[in-house]
Amino acid sequence: MPSDQYQPLGGMSDLQPPDIRLWQHIESIGRSLLERYGFDEIRTPILERTDLFIRSLGDATDVVQKEMYRFDDRGGRDITLRPEGTAGVMRVIVGGGPDLAGAKFYYLGPMFRAERPQAGRKRQFHQLGAEAIGEPNPAADVECIALQLHLLNAWGLQGYEVQVNSLGDAEDRVAVQEGLRNELRPLLGELCPVCRDRFESNVLRILDCKNESCRKIVAGLPPISGMMSESSRSYLAEVTDLLGHLGIEARLATDLVRGFDYYAHTVWEITHHELGAQDSLCGGGRYRFDFGAKSVQGVGFAMGLERVIMALEATGGIPPDLQRRVQVYIITQDPAALRENLVLAQTLRMRGFNCEIELRPRNIKKQLRTASRLGAEWVVIRGERELNEGTFELKNMRAGIQETLEMPEMIEKLTSALSIS
């Protein structure tokens, strides 16, 4: 039998204990903080019609052209595993009508891209994202950036850098694209093959190329803000002013673009030096989605959790103890005690205790070692004598103190010691 028979597909991973504890920790903090900012969770399907992503992301983007898991289902429909979360949320907004105007949603779950796996970038990866629907507003953009940084800080990550730029409003896009082409046309032969292909189809992505020769060319270009309207430049100035007012340090990066066509006005990226050459940690921006006669505007961000965890590991930001907490471990000495211990375990669990029970009577020393390995704070020991007397042996594992108690006393002591309400 081949050795990879029971391994996940390349670029995909199992999440299991003890690593899953860190994921749960991050997700729990994320949900709590997002709700504090007024966001409600939304869960969209993992499968969507392919045309949703082509229309939303742009048919010239790398994701649409090279990275989507796209196939026909049994009904002959052209469908795709979602490569990002925003498009599905926009579909909900458009279908929901005016009741969803001003909605604030967050999502958390797996995304899929058929790209070459590398550190922190998998074919199945997990994103936490947020979308705040509304007309262009510099204050809303700044609040979204502040929320994203608040999340990173709450997770224990420091040492990141915030970069911000503007792509102008939707009306500026043509002027910016033509302005860039005019600047780049004399240098077209010096661009890498990929950027030469992008010259007509997606010229803004040339600014994002990592090829060294292209980086040198881009460094000599005038800022694209000079190709925008005065109102767009004023919008960016207000964003940077408000960021400073909140004490958020952000570098104006004139070559910063985002990979999808739906972005307009403010875009930002957060990088971390511990991630190496591919130092992008997460980012976001303001967008406009056009669905025929309907359009949706808003601002949002997405955070790849694998990248966040990679940065936390590199900086020592992982909490030292994320082990599942066992408060009470019930030791079983004989079959008769097992029957009654099952009742006791359910009683404790119904009262809010995290409780484990030995379901196979065996040597008491071995059971105590199991309780210790699980980090149990208290152990309840019951055998024939305790059953006959209607008592319980309660042991504090930290203090090593053991005492004989009746049920009401034991429950009261555990409730007080473990702060169970």
Sequence ranges of the chain with CATH classification 3.30.930.10: 19-169+228-315
The whole-number pLDDT of residue 97 equals 65
Amino acid making up residue 67:
E
Q: What is the pTM of this model?
A: 0.88
CA distances from 116 to 12, 80, 124, 345, 399 (A): 11, 18, 11, 49, 53
| Averaged pLDDT, 171-177 | 86
Rounded Cα–Cα distance for residues 244 and 68 (Å): 38
Check pLDDT > 90 for residue 258: no
What is the biggest distance separating any 2 CA atoms in the chain, rounded to whole angstroms?
A: 95
Per 3-state DSSP, the chain is made up of helix, strand and coil in percentages (nearest 5) of 45, 25, 30
Sequence ranges of the chain with CATH classification 3.40.50.800: 328-417
Asked whether the CA dihedral 33, 39, 44, 46 is positive or negative, the reply is negative
The whole-number pLDDT of residue 3 equals 65
The whole-number pLDDT of residue 1 equals 44
The CATH superfamily of 19-169+228-315 is Bira Bifunctional Protein; Domain 2 (3.30.930.10)
Rounded Cα–Cα distance for residues 180 and 254 (Å): 13
Residues 264, 287: contact at Cβ < 8 Å? yes
Higher pLDDT, 120 or 279: 279
328-417 CATH fold: Rossmann fold (3.40.50)
Range from 72-76, 317-321, 383-387 that averages highest in pLDDT: 72-76
